[in-house]
Structure 1
Amino acid sequence: MGVVVIIVAAGYGAAAGWLLPRAAYRLSVEPGAPWRTHCPQGHPLRGRLGPARCPGRPAGPAAGAGECGPRYGARSGTTALVAGAVCAALAAAAGPRPETAVFAGLAPVLVLLALVDLAVHRLPDLLTLPLAAAAAAGLGAAALAPGAAGSWRLALLGGAALGAAYLLLFLINPAGMGFGDVKLALPLGIALGWYGWGVWLFGAFLGFLYGALYGLFLVLRSPNGRKQAFPFGPFMAAGALTGLLLGGFGA
């Protein structure tokens, strides 16, 4: 049964990940700018999800008949591989329990958020706030199902606590952390709190540790690395993923 769950989760993750590049391109804009509706070649985008490939021929007189336009943004194969691997790892850790469907179901959204944050250092409200609501509702439903290994009450408390902690850090040093990170902390805290305060603390700490190690790498690589800004959302997500893997195997 566990192997079947892993295979299903990996297939779902790969399918969802394959659709992410176009959405990431559409959402990778500066704050206040409208979402993109055209590819770099100027052709209207067909739908919100799918590969990031120009739907028409390359612009210019040299374009041959029937040619597809160039790719842009992330490659579908890469995002499918990443999302599939994340979902498979979560399924392997949590096993055939109801929370597995919630964690694996929401994981591709975190991959999408990471893509946008890496591109423009932004975590859109369009994704972070619904993700928090979906995590709370999904784990609430999972808590009612037989075989659940976590606590919905602790999940909600974990979301509130991690959100409050990031809000405090934002108020202390607004230049060092974006408000999008505060909003992302809500769903991550909900997920980590499901398995208890030990997992919550471990996952939250690892997010900071991963970010600090990358910051140290930038400093060692370049004299200007200390002043170089980098997106923190992917490290938050990586820390939460590590915590959930620990919590799932421990449960």
Structure 2
Amino acid sequence: MSVMLMALAAAYGAAVGLLLPRPAYRMAVEPEDGWRTTCPGGHALTGAARGWLGPGRCPGCGPYGPGALTMATVTALACAALAAATGPRPELLAWLLMAPAAVLLTAVDWRVRRLPDALTLPLAAAAAGVLGLVAGWTGETGAWRRALLGGLLLAACYLLLHGVNRSGLGLGDVKLAAGLGVALGWYGWRTLVTGGAAGVLLGGLYAAGLVLVRRRDRPTVMPLGPFMIVGAFGGLLLGAAAAP
């Protein structure tokens, strides 16, 4: 059963991952700019190429944006790992819905140091909404209330960090923390602390590595979102595996 579930989750992840390169490219812009409407060669994206889902390919100059195979592989592996850790429990539906959005956010933030509201806010709402449905179905209303509180607490922690270091941590990170906190809080406070702290630790290690490699007093501006997501992913796997 678990092998079949992992295979189905991987197939789902691969199929959805193939749809992510185009939005990753179009959303990878500076905060003051609108979504991209041209390919890297300057050709206007028209017809199907202007849409929001699918591989990035311009009829005039070929592929653009993140590789479709890479996005599909990463999303498939993430979904398979979540299925292996969670098993057939109903909250797996929430994790499988969140995983592609997390991969997309990672790709965008890594490229332009930006976490768009169009992704972070729906991610938090979807996590809360789907887990609410799961709680209503299974009767785990306590876990749902804890998940909502976990989202608020993790967002509050990042808001405090934003107040201390506005140049290194943006409001996009705060909004992302809300969605990640909801997911982590479902499995308990220990999972919330583990996943939240892991993201900060990974980001700090990367920043320290930049200082050592580039021999600077300060690292260059770096994206924190990917490290938050990887840390939360690890915490979620541990929480799901330990859940009764």
Shorter chain as normaliser: what TM range? over 0.9
CA contact (8 A) 1:150 1:196 kept: no
CA contact (8 A) 2:195 2:233 kept: yes
The aligned length equals: 239
CA contact (8 A) 2:191 2:236 kept: yes
2:53 maps to: 49
CA contact (8 A) 2:168 2:222 kept: no
Q: TM-score, normalised by structure 2?
A: 0.94
**1:130 counterpart letter in structure 2:** P
Cα drift, residue 4 of structure 1: 2.0
Q: Could you list the runs of 5+ residues in structure 2 that have no partner in the other structure?
A: none
1:95 maps onto 2:87 in alignment: yes
Distance (Å, rounded) in 2 between the aligned partners of 1:7 and 1:87: 9
1:229 maps to: 221
Cα drift, residue 225 of structure 1: 6.7
Cα drift, residue 173 of structure 1: 1.5
Change (3 A) 1:26 1:225: farther
Distance (Å, rounded) in 2 between the aligned partners of 1:10 and 1:138: 20
CA contact (8 A) 2:210 2:219 kept: no
Alignment of 1:28-177 (within 5 A): 28-41=28-41, 42-44=43-45, 45-54=49-58, 56-57=59-60, 69-146=61-138, 151-177=143-169
2:9 maps to: 9
**1:76 counterpart letter in structure 2:** A
CA contact (8 A) 1:97 1:149 kept: no
Distance (Å, rounded) in 2 between the aligned partners of 1:173 and 1:224: 18
Cα drift, residue 43 of structure 1: 3.2
Corresponding residue SS for 2:236: helix
Question: Which of 182, 193, 198 in structure 1 is aligned with 2:190?
Answer: 198
118-127 or 142-151: bigger deviation: 142-151
Distance (Å, rounded) in 2 between the aligned partners of 1:127 and 1:36: 16
1:19 maps onto 2:19 in alignment: yes
Cα drift, residue 226 of structure 1: 2.2
Cα drift, residue 234 of structure 1: 0.2
Change (3 A) 1:150 1:8: farther
Cα drift, residue 148 of structure 1: 6.5
Q: Cα RMSD (Å) of the superposition?
A: 1.5
**1:6 counterpart letter in structure 2:** M
Distance (Å, rounded) in 1 between the aligned partners of 2:86 and 2:56: 32
Cα drift, residue 223 of structure 1: 1.3
Cα drift, residue 147 of structure 1: 8.8
CA contact (8 A) 1:97 1:147 kept: no
Distance (Å, rounded) in 2 between the aligned partners of 1:202 and 1:92: 19
CA contact (8 A) 2:27 2:36 kept: yes
Distance (Å, rounded) in 2 between the aligned partners of 1:138 and 1:177: 28
Distance (Å, rounded) in 2 between the aligned partners of 1:29 and 1:225: 28
Distance (Å, rounded) in 1 between the aligned partners of 2:74 and 2:140: 26
Distance (Å, rounded) in 2 between the aligned partners of 1:33 and 1:168: 27
Q: Could you list the runs of 5+ residues in structure 1 that have no partner in the other structure?
A: 58-68
Corresponding residue SS for 2:63: coil
Corresponding residue SS for 2:31: coil
**1:43 counterpart letter in structure 2:** A
Distance (Å, rounded) in 2 between the aligned partners of 1:46 and 1:123: 21
